[in-house]
Amino acid sequence: MQYDVNSATAAANATTTIFANAARIKGILINYTAAATLAINDGTGGTAKFTYTAPAGAAGSVYVAIPGEGIRCATNISAVASAGLTAQVFYG
């Protein structure tokens, strides 16, 4: 299926609405400076569709490519990032 892919940034130590309607997560670029966590939910406070725990003791980044048509969020895409972690979420 062909459609446009957009992106938005999940801020550190915050809950961020990445996209306010139904969409599919296509990929995630995660940057961290210390041990931290990221949860991407279907709806604010909704069902967790993706989680990541950054390792302690090192800073780094990781890109997660979502296979197939991506992860579907029926309500909206919401990201909860702890301190020390930001994420660029690609969706369509």
C-alpha torsion 39→41→44→45, nearest 10? -70
Please determine, for residue 78, whether its predicted confidence score (pLDDT) is greater than 70. yes
pTM (2 d.p.):
0.93
What are the chain's domains? 6-91 (2.60.120)
28 DSSP β-pair partners: 64, 89
Higher pLDDT: 2 or 40? It is 40
Q: How far apart are CA 48 and CA 29, in angstroms?
A: 18
Q: How far apart are CA 67 and CA 59, in angstroms?
A: 26
Q: What is the pLDDT of residues 62-74, one digit of tens each?
A: 999 999 999 999 9
What pLDDT does 2 receive?
65
Please determine, for residue 38, whether its predicted confidence score (pLDDT) is greater than 80. yes
